[in-house]
Amino acid sequence: MAKMKKCYYCDFDEYGDATYKHEDVLCRKVGEIQDDSIILFASICESLEEKEAFFEIGVNGDCKSGIGDLIGVSTKIHYCPMCGRRLAEDWEKKK
């Protein structure tokens, strides 16, 4: 089977870190609390050490405000929900 090309949402380097091409699935300012921005986000993350990928959705404060994560959930995935590429291809070659 031919290897699928990585899309903007699942583009990671050989260490599992997001590349400069990587984009969040969703990143929107949804409000403010005492002049600190509240951001709704959804992104695909990958961990080569744990040999897994996950889809993360949450709400956090703006990076400069120091609020950090307010609430979030994640679920393990095996395929990119945006392009359908099998994410395990990245860490299987490390075995």
Read off the pLDDT of residues 64-88 as tens digits, 9 standing for 90 and up: 555 566 788 999 998 988 898 888 7
Buried b (16+ CB within 10 A) or exposed e, 38-54: bbebbbbbbebeeebbb
- The per-residue pLDDT for 91 is 61
What's the pLDDT score for residue 36?
80
Domain ranges of the chain: 26-92
The pTM of the full predicted model, rounded to 2 decimals, is 0.70
Collect the ranges in the chain with pLDDT lower than 50: none
Whole-number pLDDT of residue 52 = 85
